[in-house]
Amino acid sequence: MSDKIETLLSAYESGACTRRQFLAAVSALLPLSSPGQTQTTAPFVARGINHVTLSVKDLGRSREFYQRLFQFPRAKQVDKDSYSFGMGNTFLFLGAYSQSSIDHFCIGIDGYDPQTTKQKLASHSVDATIEYGNQLYFHDPDGLKVQLSSPDYRR
């Protein structure tokens, strides 16, 4: 980082950039922590919400509702009890259950591997399970179900 700052300083001193441009560029290089705040390295970098799964009582009714309100570029029946609406790099998944709720949400992370990810979570005192062979789930402090996957995971 010091090389970048030196380059910016040289540009400022030679008149190639204004004081304001120099300060903006240098501040962009600085960490986003406050004074006295410790820097931590998180085990994962979130790349976006991959999908949200809704538990619905009546799959046909919910499918019709979402199709009527939104123009999903990709929509498909996954099996008799589930339906997927694709949009951009994400999707909304509907599953037929006896109770209506948000079943879980999924965060896409780089370098996803179920076993390695589970071990990293365990090192941060998070108990995770691997289901269906390659899908990793855990619960947040409020009991909400979270899934991790690669950013390009599709059901």
Total domains present in the chain: 2
This prediction's pTM: 0.69
Residue 137 in domain? yes
For 63, phi and psi rounded to 5 degrees? -60, -45
Q: In which band, very low, low, confident or very high, does the pLDDT at 38 lie, cut at 50, 70 and 90?
A: low
- What range defines the domain where residue 12 resides? 1-39
DSSP element (H, E) containing 1: none
Residue 155 in domain? no
Average per-residue pLDDT in the chain? 86
Residue 59 in domain? yes
**Both 24 and 52 in a single domain?**
no
- The string of pLDDT tens digits covering residues 42-96 is 899 999 999 999 999 999 999 999 999 998 989 999 999 999 999 988 999 999 9
Residues 15, 10: Cα–Cα separation, whole Å: 9
**Both 85 and 116 in a single domain?**
yes
